[in-house]
Structure formats: structure tokens, C-alpha cells
Amino acid sequence: MARITAVGTSVPPHILKQTEICEFARHLFGDSFRDINRLLPIFRNGQVETRHFCVPLEWFGAKHTFSEKNALFQKWAVRLGVEAVKDCLAQARKSVADINHILFVSTTGIATPSIDSCIINELGMNPHTKRTPIWGLGCAGGAAGLSRAADYVTAYPHERVLLIAVECCGLTFQCEDKSKSNLVATSLFADGAAAVLIEGENTIQENGKQLQVIDTMSTLWPDTRDVMGWEINENGLKVIFSRDIPALVDQLLRPNMTEFFERNSMTQRDIRHFIAHPGGKKVIEAYREMLGVEPFYFSHALDILRRFGNMSSVTVLFVLQVFLKQGIAPGEYGIVTALGPGFSSEMLLVRG
């Protein structure tokens, strides 16, 4: 059985307040929306207060080529990834020599050789370390990476996997895109990285808090590819962001989650902890209404959203870190859940 034993995180140095970004958006989008003052409350009502970025605010007001943005992504992805790995291994009291396999998750830039190879070189890891880069899963990528890591150490119970997720959502920004999707994205997305240690059941167990992965489920719903994702154009990655996402949580995820519970001979009432990707305040509210639970069940997710915004695949791993540090009582169950492009869902059933 796979065990999640440590989570490390990293964020870039430029901290922007939501009020600053709101004023930036007012000037940038003002000529495109005559009702801009009616739209700007999304910055105030979305729960986000601060976010971290690889570049300062003035960078977003100028046009940048895809190659320029991608070069910045490669630089920062390595830096943030290395920092997150060091944090994770320090908490686990492990060294890079203990790692057998790296899974690297991202959706906000590209690199060949892949970023994980750069991180391996930077950290002086074993040159025989196995690596699997995963691209394009968007906000679902962190949960999907956990699932694939759990699959691996279940097959190889003497090994350890390091999941590294890095997203530089800010570097995808296109100032010439005056769409409502881009305005919404401007109010929400941010940069960050996380690293998670997942260990097989036959590895030497250290004292400390951990979560056992009981089961995982991936879902791709047909004919929903336009719900969210990227449109690739000459300027890079242009955001696609549907206003229907909260409604789809109830429509699609409710039967999906019920199926997941039933195949584990459980009901929702058996779940004490919801480790959810905070895609936005409305998405969390849709989760809560669908499940019929009190707001405090999503307090950790909303706190991460407030302090860091939506860092795509990384965000659910920030939420996971809080749950792992506080601990889940032995025998209690939690569910890790995230939605992403496709339209897709990733879920893990975990136990303290």
C-alpha cells in the first residue's frame, strides 16, 4: 500500500496583493469592457488576497514572445522545483539517494530535456533515477501525479517516488487577450511548486504523520474538452475557462464520487476530510453544496486559495501539506480531489 509521508513547497519572490492586480486589470481591460466596474468585483469576491509570481507586476503590462516566456518558465521551474524537493526531503529526513523515481507534473511551459532532468542534475541525484514527465493535466495534475506515484510504489513496494509539480501560470499571461476568460484568470491564477514523497509499504518506516492511499480513480468525461485548458497561438498559451465549471461539479462529479465510494463499500458519511483543489471560491462552494457539508470542511482549501491563489496542479498539494502536518487520526478517511482539462477528475481515497 502506498504511503504519502512528506510534502514540501516553494513560491517565487514577487508577492502581489489582489487590490493591486485589480487596479492593473481595470486599466488593461477597461477599453474592452464598457461595464468593467461591474466585472471587477470578481477580484474582491473570489477569496484571493495575495499571490506569488516569478515576475513583477509591470511585466504583465507588456507583450512577450512565447520563447521569452518559456525561457523564464524553464529557469523558474528548476529553481522552484529544487526548493520544493529540498523542503520535502528535509521534512522526511531523507536524502536524494533515497529516491528511485521522479514524476514531474506541469502544464504552463515546455522543455526538452524535461525539467525533471535539470532538477536531477541540480541536486546531484543518482543518474539512474527513473523519471516520468507528465504534461497537460492542468489543475488535476497534482492529484493525478499522486495517483500515478501510488500505482508505481504499489507495484514496487521497496521504492520511493518523488512527485514534483511546478506551475508558472503568470508567465502564460497574454496582455493582448482581452477576453472575459483572461480577465477571470487574471483574478485567480498564480505561481508555485510542491514536492511530495510517496513510499512503498516495504520501505523503512520512520515515525511521523503519513497517509495511506487506499484507492484512486481517474475520469475523463466525453465531449467536454472546451470547458478549460489552453489554446496554443503565436503568443503562447491562451487560457480557456468556462463559466459552467461550478455547475459541472454537481452535474458530473456527484455521480462520479458516489461510484468511487460504492466501489470501496463506503458512503460520503465515512469521509471526514476533504482535501480539495481550490479552483476558485465558486468551485469550493459547489463542492460543499454537492456534499451537503458545513463550510469548515473546506477551510484549509479556502485558506490556501486566500494566501496563494490557484497555482493549477500545485494547489491541491499545498492543501495536502496542511492536512499531513496536522495529521489525520488513525482509521479516519479523507478524499483528495481535483478537476482539470478534458474535462476530467482525479480522486484518491486516503486513510490516517
Residue-wise pLDDT for 62-98, tens only, equals 999 999 999 999 999 999 999 999 999 999 999 999 9
* pTM of the predicted model over 0.85: yes
* Annotated catalytic residue 22: no
Catalytic residue among 54, 88, 118, 139: 139
Q: What is the per-residue pLDDT for 207?
A: 63
Locate CATH 3.40.47.10 in the chain: 3-199, 211-351
- d(C-alpha 246, C-alpha 280), whole Å: 9
pLDDT number for residue 277: 95
Q: Write the pLDDT tens digit of every residue in 304-321.
A: 999 999 999 999 999 999
Burial of 66 (0-12, 13-18, 19+ CB in 10 A): middle
Query: Which residue stretches of the chain have pLDDT < 70?
Result: 207, 242
Q: What is the pLDDT of residue 74?
A: 98
pLDDT of residue 253: 85
Kindly calculate the radius of gyration of the chain based on its CA atoms and give it in whole angstroms.
19
CATH class of 211-351: alpha beta
* Sign of the torsion angle spanned by Cα atoms 173, 179, 181, 187: positive
User: What is the pLDDT, as a whole number, of residue 227?
Assistant: 78
Q: List the one residue out of 190, 191, 133 whose CA is nearest residue 162.
A: 133
> How far is residue 272 from each of residues 94, 161, 264, 331, measured CA to CA in Å?
30, 27, 15, 10
Q: Does domain 3-199 have CATH number 3.40.47.10?
A: yes
